[in-house]
Amino acid sequence: MIQPDKLVYVGVDLHKQHHTSVIIDCWGKVLGEIKFDNKPTAFPQLEKEAKKHTKKGMFVVYGLEDVGGYGRALAVHLIENKCWVKEVNSKLSSKRRESLVTVEKSDSLDAECVALVLKDSLYKLPDAKPIDLYWAISQLVTQRKWQAKSLTGMVKRLHQQLGYHYPSYKKFFSEVDGKTALAFWHKYPSPSRLSGVGVEELATYLRKLSNYALSTKKAEQILTLIAEDGDTSRDFQDKRDFIVRGLVRNIRFYERELNRIEREIESLMKQLGFQLETMTGIELVTAAELVSEIGDIHRFASPDKLARFAGIAPIMKGSGNKVGYYKSKQGNRELHDIFKALAIRQIAVTRTKKEPRNPYFHAYYEQKMAAGKTKQQAIVCIMRKLVNVVYFLMKTKKVYEIPVVPSQEAA
């Protein structure tokens, strides 16, 4: 462990176009400051400035907030040049700035706060490890989120438009945006397009679309519902039909894009060799989300550190003889929400037989509820156990096996 007085701390405030860096010593005294462009050719300027303030026998450590975003290129450059780089949680530097007597906001002050956090919590901060494979997965996961959000918006708009044309449209198909349903809306965007179409003609069309899953009975049901709804045609009906068909085309486009992205994610996940999907409630997308937020599991020395990173471990607050543990609102909230959703899936039961999907966690949940925990507290307990499981699966790349539930707990 290097002594604090042998170190120079470099905090960097990161932006899309440029970065600002402040250099301090072990006492928090500002030694220098530099502003440079966010491009590889400008990065050596930071190293050169840091060396100006580094005496013989001293070392430089860099602190960056957004290692996976605007600061990734700089982090990669520094690491490739054998520099010591730490990842600083932006909330820690924000809290440091807010603790000042006069709260101000500037790039220089932000960089100084990053440097101060780096100085005070050096060995508690994870090393920056921007590995290309994890970064690529993270980018694909982000792209998928945007595509899924756009798809959800398009489906909502389709619901709205169909409500004008077909008041009983929800009774037509089990899924409004299913393959057969979309084809139907595209060909018959409004009842006026079904004028003159008989039961047999519509039934033949539906059979072909659904691989004979839908029959004459479905055609009769649709035509009956339309007759019961009454005439919904209005002026400029062709323009309204155009909107419905456009929405269908967009929905199909986003669905194709999601499939393409998921195939790309799958090919990258195979390179890592994890078997996270063998666990109940984890499919390809959830596994990729976990990997994109956690990154290289080896940067966490223990499951406890991963739990703190995810904001799942409780925070101790004490004064005098009073000590209490409270729910953390810090850490990586994206990762926190992934674990929460995963915890809820663990206690779910099957629709048909009403059996627990994961008997071990279901029994653990009931045990916590019987002990007087609230539902949310019990879920947090499951989240903490899940951190251990995910940590083990990523560290060993083994298959998940549901632990055997003792007979008294199962009862």
Residue ranges, comma separated, of all CATH 1.10.287 domains in the chain are 135-268
| Cβ–Cβ < 8 Å for 326, 315 | yes
Q: Contacts by 359-365 with C-beta closer than 8 Å and gap 24+?
A: 359/402, 359/405, 359/410, 360/402, 360/403, 360/404, 360/405, 361/280, 361/385, 363/405, 363/409, 363/410
Residue 316 has pLDDT above 70, yes or no: no
| Cβ–Cβ < 8 Å for 342, 282 | yes
* Other Cβ atoms within 10 Å of 229 Cβ, number: 14
Three-class DSSP category at 40: helix
Find, among 13, 265, 211, the residue nearest to 116 by Cα.
13
Residue 35 dihedral angles phi and psi, to the nearest 5°: -115, 130
For the purposes of burial, counting CB atoms within 10 Å of the CB of 42, is it exposed (0-12), middle (13-18) or buried (19 or more)? middle
Residue ranges, comma separated, of all CATH 3.30.420.10 domains in the chain are 4-130
Residue 264 has pLDDT above 90, yes or no: yes
The dihedral formed by the CA atoms of 217, 222, 228 and 233, expressed in degrees to the nearest 10: -160
Which amino acid appears at position 171 of this protein? K
Report whether CATH 1.10.3470 matches the domain 135-268: no
Instruction: Provide CB contacts within 8 A for 296, sequence distance 6+.
Output: 129, 131, 134
Mean pLDDT to the nearest integer, 334-357: 92
**Residue range 4-130, CATH number:** 3.30.420.10
Query: Cα–Cα distance between 64 and 212 in angstroms, integer?
Result: 59
Residue 61 dihedral angles phi and psi, to the nearest 5°: -125, 135
* Other Cβ atoms within 10 Å of 384 Cβ, number: 18
pLDDT of residue 100: 79
pLDDT in tens, 23-81: 999 999 999 999 999 999 999 999 999 999 999 999 999 999 888 788 999 999 999 99
Average per-residue pLDDT for the chain: 91
Residue 24 dihedral angles phi and psi, to the nearest 5°: -130, 165
Confidence band for 317, pLDDT divided at 50, 70 and 90: low
